[in-house]
Structure 1
Amino acid sequence: MKNILLLLFTAFFLLPKAKAGNVLSNNLQQQQLPLTDTAVKIEKIEEEIIDEVIKTKAPPAKDKVQYFSQVTKYGFKNLFSKYSYNTTLSYSSQVNPSATVFIQDYMKAHGTYLTKMKGWGQPYFNLIESILNQYGLPRELKYIAVIESNLSTAATSHVGAGGPWQFMPYTARDYGLVVNGYYDERRDYFKSTHAASRYLLSLYKQFHDWLLVMAAYNGGPGRVYSAIKKSGSRNFWNLQYHLPAESRTYVKRFIATHYIMEGSGGVTTVSNQNGNYEMNSNGPGANPFDTKPQLTPEELETTATQAVSGKYNSIVIAKNLAMDILLFNRFNPEFDYMMTNNGNYDLRLPQDKMQLFQANKYIILNECVQILLGDNNISNNQTFYPAVKTKKEKKKGK
């Protein structure tokens, strides 16, 4: 690990930028290098970047993100054989064999629901991923929000954790969120995902392994350190049975969710007689141009259509129109996919919502572009918080 980081440090900080790419491409596989003081400097730089992010409560400077994104992907060294998932290769050839049995069992129990989430959850995944990218974090981490809350801002646990990332109030405040009697920013997708990114970085600083980070996210760093001490290993697969069962299962749920979302799992797969999963003819390869909205005759009569082009994002449109994202997706299936890959779309909305869109389309487009560019100064005027109860209402138990 340190040898790899040494190469990255050399490429991004010690050599001219013109030579950096060549150094990485020619030498990344050469891991047998003598450790020097440079390895220590790498770790210090990494820690300085994380400390800066946590202190300023803002993403690292853009000139550091590229370096940091190369560093953090190696945190998956105990899950993927090449440190990160390659969509062009079969999943089974990349994932740690220790996860195979759990993946199959989890897919049978939850595969249908999670595969449906691939569609309606895409706008949320796009937003989460864009924020993770600003911090140089692996895109796979977006599936933590699936495990924690099924992407729901309204999710609240029995112990008081809330929002899509299930922050406890005190942890939320530590990482820059406002949680009081007036506001609960744990339920704001933009702000809570920025806070989650900072929190994940702080855990990564301690463990340098994303599987251990997830165990700590669930059960706390203390339990992970205890498992490391008892097992004498920092490899999740070696120490997993020294973790609480909930934390151990949590990590495996992440792996199975990633497989269902990005591997060949889900309702579009069938099992052959040998127990291997294959894609059927109605799988993800279907042409998105053929996807039509499933609207009732009454809805069709009151639907307005307008051609749009640009960097529009469905969740931003729905937020500004006070429209449920599931309803928006039903009117506009494959919206984000088509806007990304085709650049235009025939937007369909109820007539009153279309009038609102036309009156605010440039404001909406500006917000979409700001999110795409990673601009943190995005207006949150459309963020809705729970109503505050008065003392009189609280006494009446309302």
Structure 2
Amino acid sequence: MAIMSFAFLLMTYNAAAQINTTVADTTILETETVKDSLPLNDLKSGFKNLFQTAMLGDGINPGKLNPMAVSFVQDYIKKNEKGFKEMKKWAAPYFNMMDEVLSAHGIPKELKYLAVIESGLRYNAISWAGAVGPWAFMPAAARQYGLSISRHNDERLDYYKSTHAAARFLTDLYVRYGDWLLVVAAYNCGPGNVSKAIKKCGSTDFWKLQYYLPDESMNHVKKFIGTHYIFEGEGGVTTLTKEELKDAALTTNINLSKDELKESKVLKISGRYYAAVIAKHILMSEKEFNRYNPGFNSEIAISGSYELRLPESKMNLFNNNKTIILKESIDQLLATGS
């Protein structure tokens, strides 16, 4: 597979390069030169739209940026705008690989921005606490999620393998909390600290319990939100609390017209189906499929079932090919190491 060849090249590069033992500073400053810049949308003019409803590619309507994040995110974007413009170009191969791996594990591909704020996407980054690699794994967590660490080889430095490990870790955290903002916080400070904050606060709402978290972790979540806005130009499922996401989901059907709703069918399905495979077999674009079925890969990976909605003709195609679709979905997930 092409992705495996990419992984091999990365491993070869990692082995040949000397590890940088300098403590990582993951802030991308305007004065930091990396690669040629790639134009993005005008972030400053775009910020006026943060309070406006935006439609995501996965069909989720994200609503508004939480007012408690606005000031921090504004300052963060101002500080990091130029550096992230540069990163968007040179990091494209890394982001493409991460998109494929995270999607294969059934979690939002936007979680790749965790690696941006953890390490600046530097494979040899080392944090002040001793976390290593693009996904900033501590030794115990790395071994728990399948990475080998020895004097001669540290798989935390391998982009491909560490992304799979991060995806498994993030999935476990989501199963535990069911809230992506809490997942981001727990990835930074550990689930123990998040659970303590929930107990002290008496709430699972990040915006209420944030003050019971370490300052670094509280700001880590806001950095993640800011990074998401810089790269995506809007929020998404990973920048909302569980309750905010429920509110957004209630408005999802405004993506479909009355005629589309009337002419569509709903079927509850179980099994490890994969959105791209379904879309291919029913002759539908993946974007259009996600408009009818927001958050499909994440929900079916976590809960094992999903209420599939499709136009009647497409539902007929699905029913006629569902055995083949399921097998191909599983084969693709296995091939990508999910």
The residue aligned with 1:133 is 103
Change (3 A) 1:88 1:134: closer
Deviation at 1:170, TM superposition (A): 1.5
Q: Distance in 1 between matches of 2:212 and 2:199?
A: 9
Q: Distance in 2 between matches of 1:88 and 1:156?
A: 34
Give a deviation string over 1:94-149, Cα, whole Å, max 9, x none: 43232222111101111111122111111111100100011100111010000111
Amino acid at match of 1:242: Y
Q: Distance in 1 between matches of 2:112 and 2:58?
A: 20
Q: 1:178 aligns with which of 145, 148, 151?
A: 148
Amino acid at match of 1:253: K
Q: Distance in 2 between matches of 1:217 and 1:160?
A: 15
TM-score (ref. length: structure 1): 0.44
What's the secondary structure of 1:179's corresponding residue? coil
Stretches of structure 1 that go unaligned for 5 or more consecutive residues are 1-79, 266-371, 379-398
Change (3 A) 1:101 1:137: same
Contact 1:130-1:374 within 8 A present in 2 as well:
no
Q: Name the count of aligned residue pairs.
A: 192
Q: What pairs with 1:133-282 in structure 2 (closer than 5 Å)?
A: 133-263=103-233
The residue aligned with 1:7 is none
The residue aligned with 2:273 is none
Amino acid at match of 2:117: I
Amino acid at match of 2:233: G
What's the secondary structure of 1:154's corresponding residue? coil
TM-score (ref. length: structure 2): 0.52
What's the secondary structure of 2:231's corresponding residue? helix
Contact 1:147-1:253 within 8 A present in 2 as well:
yes
Q: 1:105 aligns with which of 72, 75, 79?
A: 75
Change (3 A) 1:159 1:264: closer
Q: Which of structures 1 and 2 has the larger relative contact order (alpha carbons within 8 angstroms, sep 6+)?
A: 2
Q: What pairs with 1:289-368 in structure 2 (closer than 5 Å)?
A: none
Q: Distance in 2 between matches of 1:180 and 1:373?
A: 31
Change (3 A) 1:85 1:158: farther
Q: Distance in 1 between matches of 2:212 and 2:161?
A: 34
Give a deviation string over 1:177-234, Cα, whole Å, max 9, x none: 1101121111111111000000111111211101011111111111111111111110
Q: What pairs with 1:67-86 in structure 2 (closer than 5 Å)?
A: 86=56
Change (3 A) 1:154 1:205: same
Deviation at 1:374, TM superposition (A): 5.3
Contact 1:81-1:96 within 8 A present in 2 as well:
no
The residue aligned with 2:316 is none
Give a deviation string over 1:297-319, Cα, whole Å, max 9, x none: xxxxxxxxxxxxxxxxxxxxxxx
Amino acid at match of 1:109: K
Stretches of structure 2 that go unaligned for 5 or more consecutive residues are 1-50, 236-330
Q: 2:87 aligns with which of 117, 127, 131?
A: 117
Amino acid at match of 2:175: K
Contact 1:131-1:374 within 8 A present in 2 as well:
no
What's the secondary structure of 1:257's corresponding residue? helix
Give a deviation string over 1:339-398, Cα, whole Å, max 9, x none: xxxxxxxxxxxxxxxxxxxxxxxxxxxxxxxxx9556489xxxxxxxxxxxxxxxxxxxx
Q: Distance in 1 between matches of 2:152 and 2:110?
A: 33
Kindly, what percent of the aligned residue pairs are identical? Answer: 51
Contact 2:117-2:224 within 8 A present in 1 as well:
yes
Amino acid at match of 1:141: L
Please list every run of at least 4 consecutive aligned residues from structure 1 whose deviation after the TM superposition is greater than 6 angstroms: none
State the Cα RMSD in Å: 3.0
Contact 1:179-1:186 within 8 A present in 2 as well:
yes
Amino acid at match of 2:202: G
Change (3 A) 1:85 1:126: farther
Change (3 A) 1:180 1:235: same
Q: Distance in 2 between matches of 1:260 and 1:217?
A: 21
Amino acid at match of 1:164: P
What's the secondary structure of 1:162's corresponding residue? coil
- Structure with larger Rg: 1
Amino acid at match of 2:192: G
